[in-house]
Amino acid sequence: MKQSQPVLTIVVPCFNEEEVFQETSRQLTEVVDSLIEEKLIGEDSKILFVDDGSKDRTWALIAMESIRNKKVTGLKLACNVGHQRALLAGLHKAKNRSDCVISIDADLQDDISVIRDFMLKYHEGCEIVYGVRRSRKTDTFFKRTTALGFYRLMNKLGIKLIYNHADFRLMNKRSLEELARYPEANLFLRGIVPMIGFRSAEVLYDRKERFAGKTKYPLKKMLSFAFNGITSFSVAPIRFFTLLGFILFFFSTVAGVGAFIQKLLGHTNAGWASLIISIWFLGGLQLMGIGIIGEYIGTIFSEVKRRPKYAIDIDLYNEPLSPLQRQEKERLEKKYS
């Protein structure tokens, strides 16, 4: 009996990507067609663009392309929920109709030519395949240095990450089912996926310059992402301040005993500057400690509410469509055909 080829879905989260969408769709379609010709994937394979509440024409372009290109489909979220949740929405939607799913950003910085290598690893039996950058030569000095520091810090904290890996990866159906069992609201997929532990492999590639538009991850978002990753996987920062508190208590006790002895001997000296510096130092440490604890409390606050991670507005991927979704699709077909 002839074995059918696996159905692949490429999930592409999008936020205000109208400048790059057409080129991304064209290049990914070429990759899918070539993989079908090589019989590495089945003919039902799709490219799923997830619109994360874009303010520009991204969704209109996705809808129009889904009419012209049968390989392309779309998922429109009701509002902007962030890259990780939008990506998760696409993974959840694709896992029911796919044998494997590849996630990739829309900016074409990840080398789509290695998708073929992903599929070869999949056919060899790998259930998760990570796309890993060979180097960070395309990054600025600041981003390269901070990224290296972040990976080293996470390693010291005991958090298992794949070095120089972002969200360019392949996951098979079984690993996606396991991922769906992780209910946390504070998503850090780069930390969660390695925890699954199934057979995995790495594929090296060179990252390119962004094709068009600008990055959706400014410094503020990168810092928030890093803090979220640390507080979601480790309590080491709290333990660090606990240890620091014990150390400072020990030294302050020694200093207090020394000051008492000096007073008994009549050798007291004025120490206004050292006193003020000590107060400021300890006050700063206390505020930092309170801030760290606040981050964990905020994480707990988000988790215990168990709110949905996203809401789907329009789903062009699901068949059959609901009456309202069918009306929306017909309207788009009339508008863009």
Q: Which fold has domain 6-214+308-332?
A: Spore Coat Polysaccharide Biosynthesis Protein SpsA; Chain A (3.90.550)
Q: Determine the distance from the C-alpha atom of residue 211 to the mean position of all C-alpha atoms in its chain, rounded to a whole number.
A: 20
Greater confidence, 133 or 209? Answer: 133
pLDDT value for 1: 36
The pLDDT score that the predictor gives to residue 2 is: 43
Which pLDDT score is estimated for 218? 60
Least confident of 115-129, 170-184, 252-266: 252-266
Output the pLDDT for position 204: 94
**pLDDT over 90 (residue 29):** yes
Predicted local distance difference test score (pLDDT) of residue 329: 61
Statement: residue 126 has pLDDT above 50: yes
Share of the chain above pLDDT 90, in %: 40
Q: Has residue 213 got a pLDDT over 60?
A: no
Rounded Cα distance, 147 and 153, in Å? 10
Give mean pLDDT, residues 129-154.
Answer: 78
Percent of the chain scoring above 70 in pLDDT: 78
Mean pLDDT, rounded, for 245-269: 70
Q: What are 303-337's pLDDT values in tens digits?
A: 777 778 889 988 888 755 556 656 666 676 566 55
What letters, b where the CB count within 10 A reaches 16 and e where it falls short, cover 93-128? bbbebbbbbbbbbbbbbbbbebbbbbbbbbeeebbb
d(CA 317, CA 314): 9
Determine whether 12 is exposed, middle or buried from the number of CB atoms within 10 Å of its CB (0-12, 13-18, 19+).
buried
Q: Tell me the pLDDT tens digit for each residue of 76-93.
A: 999 999 899 999 999 999
Residue 60 makes CB contacts below 8 A (sequence gap 6+) with: 332, 336
Under 8 Å between Cβ of 61 and 21: yes
Residues 108 and 20: beta-carbon distance below 8 Å: yes
Q: How confident is the model at residue 265 (pLDDT cuts 50, 70, 90)?
A: confident
Per-residue pLDDT of 34-50, as tens digits, reads: 999 999 999 999 999 99
* Predicted confidence (pLDDT) per residue in 56-67, tens digit: 999 999 999 998
Please say if the pLDDT value at position 122 is more than 70. Answer: yes
Predicted TM-score (pTM) of this structure = 0.75
Return d(Cα 66, Cα 236) in angstroms, integer: 47
User: How high does pLDDT run on average in the chain?
Assistant: 82
- Two structure tokens written together for 295: 């981050």
